[in-house]
Each structure stands twice: as structure tokens, then as C-alpha cells.
Amino acid sequence: MPMHERIIPYLERAGLYHLARLNSQWFCLDEPLVSAFVERWRPETHTFHMPFGECTVTLQDVAFQLGLPVDGEAVSGCLGEFEKYMEGGRPAWEWFEDLFGERPPPNKVKQMTVHFTWFHERFRVLPPDASEETVRIYARAYIMMLLSTQLFGDKSANRVHIRWLPFVANLDDMGSCYRVGYSGGFRL
């Protein structure tokens, strides 16, 4: 998904601009390689089981490789507490609609995920005359894509989980409250 110039200030405030820039300008993500690593990950030991032995990713590795800050509140994307983040107990899809201006079609939804292609097709081209609220919606979509595909990818590699709604709900506070890191769980 292209990074539009008008969403860069939101990415900078969120502390994710460097990651977005890496993805869009310096290298292409090797999705099969990432999938292979995901399959070799053992959460009980926090290591990758490789043919030549075990490997672990340290906090310093994340900070150095991705250029991301690694301090702040822990973020695991845990679904067990997802409901506590919902505003006033509203259903998740209503909150999604408020944040993105629409709901994805039913054929693009599976449980609490949205198919990657819907985000890509819907938010790929920012209209030239977009209002500031539209820019914020596109920034949220871009950040959701970064979180679901770059930082917290899963084996499906084609879905965006809505567990990240609490982190994109208030873009102005996102970077001041959370940082990305690794220490037995990710931080954002």
C-alpha cells in the first residue's frame, strides 16, 4: 500500500514512520521468508527452531533492525481483553465503521479480521482533495496494515485483525503512549 505524503505526520507521531519508510523505499518484504519464520517460532521458549539450532530475537535486534523505539506499555494484541477497549461496550464492527467510515463487505470479513485486499483496494489511493478527517482514516488504515502485516504478522498473511482498533482510535496519542519492542511480548 503506498505511503501518501499527507499521512506521514501521523506515522511520525505514532513512531512508525521509519518502519513504513523501510517497507516502501528500502526493501520489499519477502512474505514467504516471513511465513517460514512464523512457522518456526515457538512462543513457549520465544525462539525460532531452525535446522541449525535455536535463534532468538532480542530487544536490541528489534531496535537496530527496524529503527523503532522499544520502551513503553506492553502490547500483545491479546484478544482476551479486547472487549475492555471497546468504547461503551459497542460492538467492534460499529467502532470499526466509526474509525474507517464504512464496514467491509461480509465476504471480506472472517471472524475478527478483514481481508488484506479490502484495505488495499479501499485505501490505496488518497483522493487529492481529501479532507483532514479522510487523511486520518487513511492513516489509520495504513497503521492497521503495518501492525497486522509488518509487526504482528500471522500465518494467514492475508488478513488485518481488528484487535488493533484501540491503538489507531486516537492517532494523536498513539506515539506518546506506546512504543514497539520485544521482551517476551511486543510493545507498541
Q: Is residue 48 part of a domain?
A: yes
Distances (CA, A) of 133 to 137, 139, 185: 6, 10, 33
Distances (CA, A) of 156 to 2, 65, 103, 112, 178: 22, 24, 21, 13, 26
- Res 179 pLDDT > 60: no
Q: What is the pLDDT of residue 134?
A: 95
Q: Is residue 180 part of a domain?
A: no
If pLDDT is split at 50, 70 and 90, which confidence band does 64 have? confident
Q: What is the DSSP letter of 80?
A: G
Grid cell 503506498 is found at 2
Distances (CA, A) of 16 to 35, 130, 150: 22, 22, 11
Residue 82: name the closest of 74, 94, 92 by CA.
Answer: 92
Q: Is residue 175 part of a domain?
A: no
Q: Is residue 137 part of a domain?
A: yes
Q: What is the DSSP letter of 46?
A: T
Q: Is residue 151 part of a domain?
A: yes
Which is more confidently placed, 109 or 15?
109
Domain span at 139: 5-170
Between CA 6 and CA 135 the distance in angstroms is: 7
How confident is the model over 1-24, as a mean pLDDT? 81
Q: What is the pLDDT of residue 79?
A: 55
How many percent of the chain have pLDDT more than 90?
Answer: 24
Q: Is residue 186 part of a domain?
A: no
Q: Is residue 32 part of a domain?
A: yes
Number of domains observed in the structure of the chain: 1
Segment 110-167, tens digit of pLDDT: 888 899 899 989 999 999 999 999 999 999 999 988 888 777 777 666 888 888 888 8
pTM value is: 0.71
Q: Is residue 181 part of a domain?
A: no
